[in-house]
Chain A
Amino acid sequence: MEYRLKIKEEILPVEVETAGEGKIKANIGEAGFDVSYNAISDNRMHLVVNGQGINVYVADKKNGKDIFINGKSYFVQDADLLEQTKTRKKGLDADPTEVTPPMPAVVISVPVAQGDTVTKGQAVVIVSAMKMETTLTAPFDGIVTKVNVAEGDKVMPGDILVDIEKL
């Protein structure tokens, strides 16, 4: 069978066939891999890939898995499953260009008010998380139609802090 697996922006096809108990053969592009595997625990596998033993650690994440090999973490996603979820969610997704914090944070100040004209890149909300300040800027030129937060509010990624109508 064939998987299409995504790491960062790159989707590559992975061809896999079973080769007996605890063994598979895989092909990615030109490269071939003989793999035997042993699940040690929920988060740990031991693989022997073309004769070389490798410890791999895995954690399930939303829409993918974090995979740790030799000091490096890879976020791997199944591109086919992703497309299915996307189609299902289509139409519900808000405009991607919105003012939302990158992580849970606390609002430090809101230098704009309803009715203000803002230009792309202008500071609209300043938040602080883990004692570090971040300035959230206007994603495009527009008019502030609504300010949804005040100083001291706790905010989460996905919360729209300021509504801006495109000019």
Chain B
Amino acid sequence: MFKKILIANRGEIALRVINTCRDMGVQTVAVYSDADKKAMHVLAADQAVYIGPSEPSRSYLHMDKIIAAARETGAEAIHPGYGFLAENAEFVEKCEKQGVVFIGPPSNVIRDLGDKITSRKIMLGSGVPVTPGLTSTEADTDIMIKEAEKVGYPILIKATAGGGGKGIRIVRSSGEMAEACSAASREAQNAFGNGKIYLEKFFEKARHIEFQVLADVFGNTIHLLERECSVQRRHQKIIEETPASGMTPELREKMGQAAVTAAKASGYVNAGTVEFLVDESDNFYFLEVNTRLQVEHPVTEMITGVDLVRLQLEIASGNKLTIDQKDIIGRGHAIECRIYAEDPEKDFFPSPGKIEFLKEPTGPGIRNDCGVYSGFEVPVDYDPILSKLIVHAQTRERAIAKMIKALKGYVILGVKTPVAFLIDVLTSNPFVNGDVYTNFIETHFSDWQPDISDADLARIAFVIDGMCGSRKVIKRISTTDEAATPWQTLGNWRQ
């Protein structure tokens, strides 16, 4: 096993990895940019190395600086987390050349699977069903339109690189094609440095179900059951759970087999996720393989009892998988909610700023993978995820109730969050009935407004806070630029 590893990431995922390293007695090295001098991962690691300005390209995406940091600190391996360099084959190649172990699949596997076209070809060749659409990239709008007519609208324009909902557009008619193609291509160019796009069939009513896989270097490949990730906004998941509602043992068996086949066909090593779309008749189609630890991996950990990060380190250090398929048994139900700094009333727009106050929920079966603290300034430069709240209970019904309770006790002041929105989703009939599809939010919550049933209490609290306000007076004066008058120093108290 490694003695020391470097974590080439920030925020909650860097902390997640540090956590397991602590359990295993592995030393950790964090890296950070200007914006992250006071970030939580820097405070938590054994060592931290400054790698440059806030722009990702000059710090967290700067391959040479990160590898140099690993070499300088004597870190034997690099854990990439998700995002940034996690699925960058060039980076993995550089690590391989410099003798630093990359905790993830080999570069050629990342290259093949990271290119959606190549991965579609691999799956077609090994008998894994894929969504109808192109198996080559296309820059010509007219050809795109012809293909779209063949497949039938609506279709999805997708970047061949990357993920995370970037570089994707839904097109419903030929008139929208040109603009959608250029927007998707530009967004992909900015996010992944590659603007190539293709198209595939868009399913209006489908479930997004994925399987966690693990493979060691000896060819042992297993799956760790499914995750249901249909509740998405802006093509990005916001609630994930396992098991999936309506999943039958037969379908699980078939899809699990397909996931293992997909991993084996691509020569997969380490932890990965095979994503499928499932239509209303339980037909499933391969979407893509995410060659990294997923954001939503904790729900799998909760029901299987497996520490995925530990197994990633074991596999990367050349150890054999000590569990096989029959050891993987799901117990109970787990749900994850992603807590972003974003405004659900304004189409989930990012809401950066200072976290004025934070109180994390606790209790039996509650886990919060959190990367921020009270007083932390959420930078504009990175993905606005603050934390992931995960609950585990015996049944889905109890897990939902537990999640609602946890959300009600999750206080984040200073930035907007989707907490109130998530409570409403979890309380809604379609969610409770397990009637979730990828269009769930558009269908049921497109014009969501927060319920303001406690507005009277909030008004009363406002008055009382002013009355108790002497404890804050000094702060108030120091933030006004005009000289304080006696009226201001009195606070909001009036006779």
Contacts and interface: CB of A to CB of B under 8 A. Distances in A.
B191 interface: yes
A28 B459 contact: yes
Nearest to B164: A131
B460 to A, nearest CB: 5
A114 interface: no
Interface string B255-295: 00000000000000000000000000000000000000000
Q: Bin the interface of chain B by size.
A: 35 or more
B455 A74 contact: yes
A74 B346 CA distance: 15
B351 interface: yes
Contacts of B492: 78, 81
Interface stretch (A51-59, A89-97, A140-148, A159-167): A51-59
A127 B390 CA distance: 33
Interface of A: 1, 3, 5, 7-8, 10, 12, 14, 16, 24, 26, 28, 31, 33, 35, 37, 39, 42-43, 45, 47, 49, 54, 56-61, 65-74, 76, 78, 81, 102-105, 108, 128-134
Given A12-B459, A24-B460, A43-B357, 16 more contacts: A33-B460, A35-B460, A39-B468, A47-B457, A49-B457, A56-B461, A61-B356, A70-B454, A74-B458, A78-B462, A102-B346, A104-B352, A129-B352, A130-B380, A131-B191, A132-B350
B54 to A, nearest CB: 10
B407 A71 contact: yes
Nearest to B341: A130
B461 A58 contact: yes
Interface stretch (B69-77, B128-136, B140-148, B413-421): B413-421
Given A24-B464, A130-B350, A130-B382, A71 B410 contact: yes
A45 B452 contact: no
B351 A103 contact: yes
B472 interface: yes
B456 interface: yes
Nearest to B353: A103
Contact of B463 (A3, A70, A71): A3
A143 B488 CA distance: 45
A72 B420 contact: yes
Contacts of A35: 460, 464
A87 B350 CA distance: 32
Listed from nearest, the 7 A-B pairs whose CB atoms lie closest are A59-B356, A59-B413, A71-B408, A74-B458, A130-B350, A39-B468, A76-B462
